[in-house]
Structure 1
């Protein structure tokens, strides 16, 4: 089977954002006929989340798809800090009450600090909005469950902002795992670290779950997407500088499944943490390893026997560089809001992911 037919098969999974492998051009970031469709009215609440500016820039990147109504930031000092930032030069600042009362508003991107994500989402759902909700979904499992129950009751979609969902290498990983190329999955290993400064440490020390909770949640989301809810989770936590703060900066989680063991590491005192972020899946018939994860993912596929146009043994798998980290997720959200498709990740998945995150980070 040639590369083009392989790509067509991959697209039948119903997952947007898959880049072509081995030099083929990506076909998923084109905005198709969206210019002929009514624009989706969307607003953003909050600017304090680590991804807030990037999410706003992604919305602004597609004016033929989204009509940005306004941005809510109640902190005057924060608004002053951002007023000259390119992403905020033309935004309309407004109150949350004004935004949610906007005629025809369909969606809200919630980009507050983590502690306010779920409470803000609840108010938006009560107002009838679809959501792009950044991660992680707070420190309470019951609050997360309640939020998803309300979304189901309101027939509204919550798209969680786990940034690896639309990464082409991870979507290819989902494909090869789902189609049995790797056989029975027995092992997954992931690492997501960075070197954080003192101000960042102080900020994250507010959360009991530390770096695993705030950063490695992206990897745990992928594990649950591949294997489902774990049967047991064991958390190992180290606080390297207790004289400085209570930040859990070096963590390991072991997620147990009937046939597989998963290890996820998060290290915030690693000077090479960003470049060496990695994720690998091994089964009885092969292995697939991604390193680096971003911004231009690279991967190696090892197969016990040939699969389609891939040979037995190890080979590199190349991907087109994504046009932007958050582009594909917002274009996908537009399709969901228009009723053209359902989101690939439902509420059950998001709750299972959140429980796994809380257990992996030692909160539960």
Structure 2
């Protein structure tokens, strides 16, 4: 198939490998990679059979590229996003889009100026189980919601920078933002937010066989409110076995779901509504490659000139919640 789009990936770590595998499923996409660590880029290039360039500027500033996919540590996101926008490229960037609200607003300004897409990698919106929740809420199957719990837990200890505050690490930017993105998607108007817990439980981490003292938070719980709906959001880098679930309770019942394929999705109804019977309605969703789904969506948005599901505006809402939580916590 003739190549119709050329994408440059900046950063050649583990997440870049997953992006490359996703793009490989799209025959019309050609990918070139770059990393300041030339040996890493060369190694990944050989494994994945793609071209690499030593100087990232040759990708960003080349007229041959349509889009830039940013897979570097969070503190460098804004720098490469704005450089890409200055060069009039569409941008996909792994979550979080940047470090804070101020940076997000600056990115939005540039995206509007050059009229290019900026999409953040909040891949959970693309899982059928979480999409199912949105449909159940929109159809008012469980009635008006009044309480919800969002939880995301992982073990951490993969990369040192993710456990150091000075390098943009911690559970807030690594985990919490994922759940806040879903909360924004489901409930939209968040009127209150505050931190109930923000702590570093494990202060010494073993990473790649070495012990390190760390200071970034690894346990976070927020209290939020949306149209009288009380929401608890817990995320951590403490859970030995990955955990990710949502439960929402309303006047006519509840919904529980997870992206873990071995956990059921349960819609409980006090009274039957639509296709849902009284009592428990149980569903199972298979494993999905969410990288293929989100990057496929990004490519289609470029082709059709459409706004992506995870736009810069959505990221701004997430950072507004976090900023409000910090302010409330100081009051």
TM bracket, shorter-chain basis: 0.7 to 0.9
Mapping for residues 95-174 of structure 1, pairs under 5 Å: 95-174=55-134
> Which of 313, 318, 328 in structure 2 is aligned with 1:348?
313
> C-alpha deviations, 1:176-208, integer Å up to 9, x for none?
1122222222122111112233x6355322356
Aligned partners of 2:161 and 2:86: how far apart in 1? Answer: 33
Residue 360 (structure 1) shift: 5.5
Residue 74 (structure 1) shift: 1.4
1:73 equivalent in structure 2? 35
Mapping for residues 201-220 of structure 1, pairs under 5 Å: 203-206=162-165, 210-220=170-180
2:302 is aligned with 1:337? yes
Matched residue count: 319
> Which of 237, 244, 262 in structure 2 is aligned with 1:268?
237
**Structure 1 range deviating more: 250-259 or 293-302:** 293-302
In structure 2, the residue corresponding to 1:326 is in which secondary structure? helix
Residue 255 (structure 1) shift: 1.4
In structure 2, the residue corresponding to 1:196 is in which secondary structure? coil
Closer, same or farther: CA 340–310 of 1 in aligned 2, 3 Å? farther
Q: CA contact under 8 A between 1:237 and 1:251: conserved in structure 2? A: yes
Residue 167 (structure 1) shift: 0.6
2:22 is aligned with 1:61? no
1:12 equivalent in structure 2? none
Aligned partners of 1:356 and 1:54: how far apart in 2? Answer: 29
Aligned partners of 1:168 and 1:360: how far apart in 2? Answer: 30
Residue 148 (structure 1) shift: 1.2
Residue 277 (structure 1) shift: 2.1
In structure 2, the residue corresponding to 1:42 is in which secondary structure? strand
Q: CA contact under 8 A between 1:285 and 1:305: conserved in structure 2? A: yes
Closer, same or farther: CA 196–158 of 1 in aligned 2, 3 Å? same
Greater helix share, structure number:
2
Greater strand share, structure number:
2
Closer, same or farther: CA 55–169 of 1 in aligned 2, 3 Å? same
Unpaired segments ≥5 residues, structure 1: 1-34
Mapping for residues 1-364 of structure 1, pairs under 5 Å: 39-48=4-13, 51-64=15-28, 66-68=29-31, 70-79=32-41, 82=44, 86-87=47-48, 89-197=49-157, 200=159, 203-206=162-165, 210-235=170-195, 236-242=197-203, 244-272=213-241, 274=242, 276-291=243-258, 293-294=259-260, 298-322=264-288, 324-339=289-304, 341-357=306-322
RMSD between aligned alpha carbons? 2.6
Residue 145 (structure 1) shift: 0.8
Aligned partners of 1:193 and 1:319: how far apart in 2? Answer: 20
Residue 245 (structure 1) shift: 2.3
Q: CA contact under 8 A between 2:141 and 2:274: conserved in structure 1? A: no
Aligned partners of 2:23 and 2:147: how far apart in 1? Answer: 37
Aligned partners of 1:196 and 1:117: how far apart in 2? Answer: 21
Residue 320 (structure 1) shift: 4.2
TM-score (norm 2): 0.87
TM-score (norm 1): 0.79
Q: CA contact under 8 A between 1:216 and 1:264: conserved in structure 2? A: yes
Closer, same or farther: CA 209–229 of 1 in aligned 2, 3 Å? farther
Closer, same or farther: CA 249–283 of 1 in aligned 2, 3 Å? same
Closer, same or farther: CA 98–209 of 1 in aligned 2, 3 Å? closer
> C-alpha deviations, 1:226-265, integer Å up to 9, x for none?
1114212111212124473213112211112231111111
